[in-house]
Structure 1
Amino acid sequence: EGAIMVESDQINGRMSSVDEFCKALGGDSPIHSVLVANNGMAAVKFMRSIRTWALETFGNEKAILLVAMATPEDLRINAEHIRIADQFLEVPGGTNNNNYANVQLIVEIAERTRVSAVWPGWGHASENPELPDALMEKGIIFLGPPSAAMGALGDKIGSSLIAQAAGVPTLPWSGSHVKVPQETCHSIPEEIYKNACVSTTDEAVASCQVVGYPAMIKASWGGGGKGIRKVHNDDEVRALFKQVQGEVPGSPIFIMKVASQSRHLEVQLLCDKHGNVAALHSRDCSVQRRHQKIIEEGPITVAPPETIKELEQAARRLAKCVQYQGAATVEYLYSMETGEYYFLELNPRLQVEHPVTEWIAEINLPASQVVVGMGIPLYNIPEIRRFYGIEHGGGYHAWKEISAVATKFDLDKAQSVKPKGHCVAVRVTSEDPDDGFKPTSGRVEELNFKSKPNVWAYFSVK
Structure 2
Amino acid sequence: MSFTRVLIANRGEIARRIQRGCRKLGLENVAVFSDADRDAPFVAEADHAVCIGGAAPSDSYLNVEAILEAARATGACAVHPGYGFLSENAGFAAAVEAAGLVFIGPEPDAIARMGSKIEAKAAAEAAGVPVLPGYRGEDQSDARLLQEAEALGTPFLVKASAGGGGRGMRLVSDPGDAPEAIASARAEAQSAFDDPAVFLERYAPRARHVEVQVLGDTHGTVLHLGDRDCSLQRNHQKLIEEAPAADLPEAVRDRMRAAAVRLAQAIGYRSAGTVEYLYDPGRGEYYFLEMNTRLQVEHPVTEAITGIDLVEWQLRIARGEPLALTQGDVQFDGHAIEIRIAAENPAENFRPETGEISLWAPPAGVRLDTGVEAGSVVSHHYDSMIAKLIVHAPDRAGAIRRAVVAMDAFAVGGVGLNLAYQRALLTHPDFEAFRHHTSGLPEMFPGGWTEPSADPRDMALAAMALHLHLAPAGASPWESLGSWRLTAPAGWPGATSYWETTKDDPIRVNGSGSVLTAVQLDGQTIAVESAALGSVLINWIPNCRCL
| TM-score interval for Structure 1 and Structure 2 normalised by the shorter chain | 0.7 to 0.9
CA distance in 2, matches of 1:330, 1:136: 25
- Paired residue for 1:216? 157
Distance 2:241 2:78 in 1: 30
Local SS of the residue matching 1:41:
helix
Work out whether 1:206 is the aligned partner of 2:178: no
Distance 1:445 1:132, change over 3 A: closer
Could you tell me which residue of structure 1 aligns to residue 205 of structure 2?
Answer: 260
Deviations 1:166-205 (A, max 9, x none): 1111111103xxxxxxxxxxxxxxxxxxxx2452333222
32-41 vs 100-109, greater mean Cα deviation: 100-109
Asked which structure has the greater RCO (Cα within 8 Å, sep 6+), the reply is 1
Distance (Å, rounded) in 1 between the aligned partners of 2:127 and 2:330: 26
Q: Tell me the equivalent position of 1:40.
A: 12
What is the CA distance between 1:417 and its match in structure 2? Answer: 4.3
Alignment match, 1:188: none
Match 2:285 to one of 340, 348, 352: 340
Of all paired residues, the percent bearing the same amino acid is 36
Output the CA distance in 2 between the equivalents of 1:204 and 1:152.
Answer: 23
Letter in 1 for 2:178: V
**Equivalent of 2:342 in 429, 435, 460:** 429
Query: Paired residue for 1:154, among 115, 118, 123?
Result: 115
Question: Which residue of 2 is the match for residue 73 of structure 1?
Answer: 36
* Alpha-carbon distance in 1 for matches of 2:166, 2:283: 28
Contact kept in structure 2, 1:198 and 1:253, CA below 8 Å: no
Query: What's the counterpart of residue 171 of structure 1?
Result: 132
8 Å CA contact 1:168, 1:318 repeated in 2? yes
Q: C-alpha deviations, 1:254-311, integer Å up to 9, x for none?
A: 1111112111111111111122111011111111123221111101222122221211
Name the residue aligned to 2:412.
none
**Which residue type is aligned with residue 202 of structure 1?**
A
Cα shift at 1:442: 7.9
**Contact map agreement 1:271 1:326 (CA 8 A) in 2:** yes
State the 1:91 CA deviation: 1.5
Matched, 1:94 2:55: yes
My pick for the range that moved more, 140-149 or 290-299, is 290-299
Instruction: Rate the CA distance shift 1:89–1:222 in 2: closer, same or farther, 3 A.
Output: closer
Q: Match of 1:309?
A: 254
Secondary structure of 1:358's partner? helix
Query: Aligned with 1:415: secondary structure?
Result: helix
* C-alpha separation in 2, matches of 1:432 and 1:246: 30
| Amino acid of the structure 2 residue aligned with 1:280 | L
- Of 128-137 and 266-275, deviating more is 128-137
Residue 225 of structure 1 and its aligned partner are, at CA, apart by: 4.3
Distance between the aligned counterparts of 1:445 and 1:79, measured in 2?
14
Taking a change above 3 Å as real, the CA distance of residues 437 and 127 of structure 1, as seen in their structure-2 partners, is closer
**Secondary structure in 1 aligned to 2:2?**
coil
Q: In the TM superposition, what is the alpha-carbon distance from 1:432 to its structure 2 partner?
A: 3.8
Please, which runs of 5 or more residues in structure 1 have no aligned partner?
1-28, 55-62, 176-195, 389-413
Question: Could you say which residue in structure 2 is the equivalent of 1:120?
Answer: 81
CA distance in 1 between counterparts of 2:21 and 2:120 reads 31
Deviation at 1:419, TM superposition (A): 0.8
Counterpart secondary structure, 1:169: coil
Q: Contact 2:277/2:288 (CA < 8 Å) preserved in 1?
A: yes
- Partner residue, 1:178: none
Count of matched residue pairs: 370
* Separation (CA, whole Å) in 2 of partners of 1:65 and 1:461: 23
Structure 1 residue 251 displacement after superposition: 1.5
Q: Report the equivalent of 1:236.
A: 177
Q: Residues 245, 216 of structure 1: CA spacing in aligned structure 2 closer, same or farther, 3 A cutoff?
A: same
Cα distance per residue 1:320-369 (max 9 Å; x no partner): 11111111111111011121000111111001111111111111111101
User: How many angstroms does 1:100 deviate by?
Assistant: 1.6
CA distance in 2, matches of 1:443, 1:377: 45
Output one character per residue of 1:90-128: Cα deviation in whole Å (capped at 9) or x when no partner: 211221122222222222221222222111100111111
Q: Classify 1:239/1:294 alpha carbon distance in 2 versus 1 (closer, same or farther; 3 Å).
A: closer
State the 1:247 CA deviation.
Answer: 3.5
* Structure 2 letter corresponding to 1:295: I
Q: Are the equivalent residues in 2 in contact too, given 1:220–1:254 (CA < 8 A)? A: yes
Q: Which residue of 2 aligns with 1:24?
A: none
**1:432, 1:417 → 2: CA distance?**
40
For residues 228 and 110 of structure 1, the distance between their equivalents in structure 2, rounded to whole angstroms, comes to 37
- 2:162 alignment partner, SS class: strand
| Runs (5+) with no aligned partner, structure 2 | 375-547
- Which of 346, 349, 353 aligns to 1:440? It is 353
Following the alignment from structure 1 to structure 2, what is the Cα–Cα distance between the partners of residues 107 and 430? Answer: 31
1:240 positional shift: 3.2
Partner of 1:408: none
Identify the structure with the greater strand proportion.
2
Give CA deviations for 1:346-393 in whole Å, capped at 9, x if unaligned.
111001111111111111111101100111111xx2xxx2xx4xxxxx
The Cα shift of 1:212 comes to 2.5
- Do the aligned partners of residues 423 and 222 (structure 1) sit closer, same or farther apart at CA in structure 2, a change above 3 Å counting? closer
What RMSD over aligned residues (CA atoms) do the two structures have, in Å?
2.1
Find the counterpart in structure 2 of residue 366 from structure 1.
Answer: 311
Where does 1:290-301 land on structure 2 (aligned, <5 Å)? 290-301=235-246
